[in-house]
Amino acid sequence: MAARRLDPQIAALLQQMQRQGVPPVHTLTPIQARESRNSLFVKLGGPPEAVAKVEDLNIPGPAGHIPIRIYTPQGSGPFPVLVYFHGGGWVICNLDTHDSICRSLANGASCVVVSVDYRLAPEHKFPAAIDDAYAATQWVADNASPIEGDPTHIAVGGDSAGGNLAAVVCLMARDRGGPSLVYQLLVYPVTNLSSFDTDSYREHGEGYILTKDGMDYYRGHYVAHEDELRNPYASPLLAQKLSGLPPALVITAEFDVLTDEAEAYAKRLKQAGIPVTYTRYRGMIHAFFSLAAAVSRARDAMDQAAAALRSAFVK
């Protein structure tokens, strides 16, 4: 029944991966997982769009420096800015795996995109990633002019683990009194590491790109101590209050273990009075936003994200 409701392009991709013997991520070491998955995501991201300028920088961070990649669209600045955090379970992926996404968002939203190469687990466990994510966002706010950015129109965004980081940066910015953020783009975000007890975990925990075993693998590498799982900066769904946060677009996929917790986060944001748009893409699986070369609906989600950002930036 479920297979018949899968998007045909998704079904074909999963069958191809099975034929090619792509190993489940939880059977690999982190280094092997990066070697296996990073090249795959670069390939499936599709041909990169041209932008006016791409620049790699190292900026100060809490543990040395943080590599970032800045995408500048055509036109005259200052431009609004999107600070983007890549997915990958806090363990895999990098600036290259999400290059196509960042280029498309820069063009589609007519904004500077700053992609952040935060520290990865298990070499750097929680809260290293969120510390880097927040520091990079603060750096953008403090240095917007040199990168042709507008410090009054900064948004954050990310997919999967990157969506988790974007949501957490919004909490940190509220709790610490800045920087001021106008929007959060959350693409199938992880919002609750403390529990996998949801219908989406039970129904979609096997057979797709992200599995329950895969999430257990990522969680185990990311968090060192069990009591940290309930920290709102690891599990933003567990934050006591969600008031005072920027408006959000929350995108989920129908066949994804994370769908229920992401939807629950969208509902809690709405209950807190935050303007939220929530869209569940039917027939899609986790990671579809990164699969533009193989899945046409990835373009639909990209167009929705770009339109939401454009609208937020003019307010």
Point out which residues pair with 84 in neighbouring strands. 115, 157
Neighbour-count burial for 269-300, b at 16+ CB within 10 Å, e otherwise? bbeeebebebebbebbbbbbbbbbebbebbee
DSSP 8-state secondary structure symbol assigned to residue 226:
G
* Nearest to 306, CA basis, from 152, 145, 172, 187: 187
H or E element: which one contains 70? Answer: strand 64-72
Name the phi and psi angles at 278, rounded to 5. -120, 130
DSSP codes, 243-310:
TTPPPEEEEEEEE-TTHHHHHHHHHHHHHTT--EEEEEEEEEETTGGG-TTT-THHHHHHHHHHHHHH
| Identified catalytic residue from 160, 200, 235, 290 | 160
Say which amino acid occupies 204.
Answer: H
Helices and strands counted in the chain (H then E) = 10, 8
Active-site residue, 225 included: no
Structure tokens at 91: 């363990």
Tokens of 275: 């303007």
SS3 category, 192: coil
Catalytic residue among 7, 117, 131, 256: 256
Is residue 290 among the annotated active site residues?
A: no
Contact, 119 vs 129, CB < 8 A?
A: yes
Residue 11's φ and ψ, nearest 5 degrees, are -60, -40
Catalytic residue among 99, 200, 286, 290: 286
- Asked if 286 is an active-site residue, the reply is yes
Active site residues: 160, 256, 286
